[in-house]
Amino acid sequence: AGLIISLSHRLVEGDNLMHDQGLNGWSPLFFLGHELSKKTLGIIGMGQIGKALAKRMQDFDMKIVYTQRHHLKEDEEKELHAVFLEKDELIKQSDVISLHLPLTKNTHHLLGAKEFATMKKTSFLINAARGPLIDENALLQSLKEKQLAGA
């Protein structure tokens, strides 16, 4: 939850700016960030940590979608207000995608250039799991080309 809030509200970027060069003048919309309310959070890997994230982000009035190998039980989905989607659909719909799954031969580079190209240009990516789940070279290129808002 903290990483999502930090990224969407540009906290690290703003802190670095203030420490490096400071702010000249008054600009109320400078570093405004992005509202999380009514946005879609896509969780890839709905284990204990994914479920805990879903619970916390309900307070931000986010729509929760998830994907993993198996659907959650119906009562868990209701409790978390979570909807199962296939990975490709989750990637297209989500404003924030958060990864919470183990690194295996099947999950290595789970997200790469193809997936980044289908994400919303305003979306954020959080990898709260293992680095190699993401093709980092493809991610860097996608960020440079402004295919994503942040990671």
What single string gives the DSSP state of each residue in 60-100?
A: TT-EEEEE-SSPPPHHHHHHHTEEE--HHHHHHH-SEEEE-
d(C-alpha 76, C-alpha 95), whole Å: 23
- On whether the pTM is more than 0.85, the answer is no
pLDDT, tens digit, 9 for 90 and up, residues 55-80 = 988 888 889 999 999 999 999 999 99
Give the structural domain span for 47. Answer: 34-144
Residue 38 lies in a domain: yes
> pLDDT confidence of 11, banded at 50, 70, 90?
very low
Residue 51 lies in a domain: yes
pLDDT, tens digit, 9 for 90 and up, residues 17-67 = 555 666 665 555 455 455 667 889 999 999 999 999 999 888 888 899 999
d(C-alpha 39, C-alpha 47), whole Å: 22
Residue 121 lies in a domain: yes
Using alpha carbons, select from 71, 70, 67 the residue that is nearest to residue 85: 67
pLDDT, tens digit, 9 for 90 and up, residues 101-144 = 999 999 999 999 999 999 999 899 999 899 999 999 999 999 99
The CATH number given to whatever domain includes residue 125 is 3.40.50.720
Number of domains in the chain: 1
